[in-house]
Structure 1
């Protein structure tokens, strides 16, 4: 019987530790972490739009939230719009006086208030007053696990809680934008005519000669989109707060800051599209 030679065991190779991550993964990981909340935010917005058309609609909750947002935002919006309108009217009045076109002060100041100042002031006040309250409410419900309990019971928190609040903020923005427009135009008229000694008839005639219905429509469209955006951001941060009461406070601050940034970005996009697509009056 022929014996086979005995094989010696190979020496064990020491482990070199975990392999380094590929360079592509190291580059894309921060980008993925940054874009994930953006995707979730858009996903929440799509869910809110779809759930808004699904029965049953929470009419009572919608009315209560609309009244609450209006109550906390109406007076600050009116008070904030007065200095905006006054500043615009005073600045344009001084500039037009230097160029000998003081009769056009009304056109420039009123258009600036209608298209820019009124919807932006409305969005900022709704984000700061109504949006922070919505975020705090949903955040408190989340850390108390009420949202999780609703999901276990088969109740959609988006349809039950988020949709009425987001629609309430969009509706309130639409109404308060009209209030801000009236107050801003009146404030600009007062400071231009009384303080700078402008002509009342020239102020109104200049505005009516260059303004058109589309200016009001784009202002209302901006207000609705700004209110909807502020509501979505507040709801997203409220449903995804860091742990603990301090996390809810941080989520409220983040929701307000993010809403401000998105509002100014949307305003830039909408203004650019409006100026490119809608011809001015008389052209």
Structure 2
């Protein structure tokens, strides 16, 4: 409970510092760009490589099941629900938490045990504003951009497999995709991605700044950060999936 309270307090302080930095345009531009480039370079290719087989698996399983009930034309509807609604933001979040988040924890943890964090605080420099905010902002932006990318990759892989392997009609696939999905679904997915990126970066930063017991503590903090971020991401996904339609009514027909 004590650590949970500290994490909540750190989250509130970080979000407030992020909002203030954005409004006042006081974000460390150099650090933010550096973190953006790093996270993009380590997460883009793995996200794409994960979504290609996922899209193929969706098309294969949907095609087999649909053929049994005579609903082959509704492959696009299932893709709309699975890839746009759930898989794309989750894949991005897992990549940010597992790859980007572990790097954030290791970097900040190493700075902590080298007493660089203490030195900044002695000089009156806010650790959160100087180090955490750029990383959180980069995680949010990269997760949102990755969300759009993996949606395209996943849908494209499903479409290609549906047409060239299962001999389906591209017109029916795209027709049901656009019929059962809407802009609201895309907005919901991107909102989830932003929240997942925020959660993952805050957890990673908190674990990095609270490292103890030297280098071994850094390794333990990385493992704890990844596991905790995964758990919180799945909880956030369940909560957003239930609450988002209450505030933004869906127009897609599958709901």
- TM-score normalised by the chain length of structure 2: 0.93
Bigger shift: 204-213 or 155-164?
A: 204-213
Please report the RMSD computed on the Cα atoms of aligned residues, expressed in angstroms.
Answer: 1.4
What is the aligned partner in structure 1 of residue 10 from structure 2? Answer: 44
Rg larger for: 1
* Alpha-carbon contact 1:51-1:158 (below 8 Å) kept: yes
Per-residue CA deviations over 1:84-112 (Å, capped at 9, x if unaligned) read 11111211222222121111111111331
Instruction: From 70, 75, 81, give the equivalent of 2:51.
Output: 81
Matched, 1:256 2:226: yes
What CA distance in whole angstroms lies between the structure 1 residues aligned with 2:214 and 2:227? Answer: 20
Matched, 1:202 2:168: no
Pick the structure with more helix per residue.
Answer: 2
What is the aligned partner in structure 2 of residue 18 from structure 1? Answer: none
* Alpha-carbon contact 2:80-2:180 (below 8 Å) kept: no
What CA distance in whole angstroms lies between the structure 1 residues aligned with 2:68 and 2:76? Answer: 15
What CA distance in whole angstroms lies between the structure 2 residues aligned with 1:159 and 1:140? Answer: 18
Which residues in structure 2 correspond to 1:41-80 (within 5 Å)?
Answer: 41-52=7-18, 53-54=20-21, 56-80=26-50
Bigger relative contact order (CA 8 A; separation at least 6): 2
Instruction: From 93, 104, 113, give the equivalent of 1:134.
Output: 104
| Unaligned residue ranges in structure 1 (runs of 5+) | 1-34
What is the aligned partner in structure 2 of residue 24 from structure 1? Answer: none
Matched pairs, number: 249
What CA distance in whole angstroms lies between the structure 1 residues aligned with 2:74 and 2:94? Answer: 29
What CA distance in whole angstroms lies between the structure 2 residues aligned with 1:171 and 1:199? Answer: 36
What CA distance in whole angstroms lies between the structure 1 residues aligned with 2:17 and 2:79? Answer: 41
Per-residue CA deviations over 1:69-127 (Å, capped at 9, x if unaligned) read 00111111111111111111211222222121111111111331011111111111111
- TM-score normalised by the chain length of structure 1: 0.84
What CA distance in whole angstroms lies between the structure 1 residues aligned with 2:110 and 2:11? Answer: 21
* Alpha-carbon contact 2:74-2:176 (below 8 Å) kept: yes
| Unaligned residue ranges in structure 2 (runs of 5+) | none
* Alpha-carbon contact 2:102-2:225 (below 8 Å) kept: yes
What is the aligned partner in structure 1 of residue 133 from structure 2? Answer: 163
* Alpha-carbon contact 1:61-1:164 (below 8 Å) kept: yes
* Alpha-carbon contact 1:110-1:188 (below 8 Å) kept: no
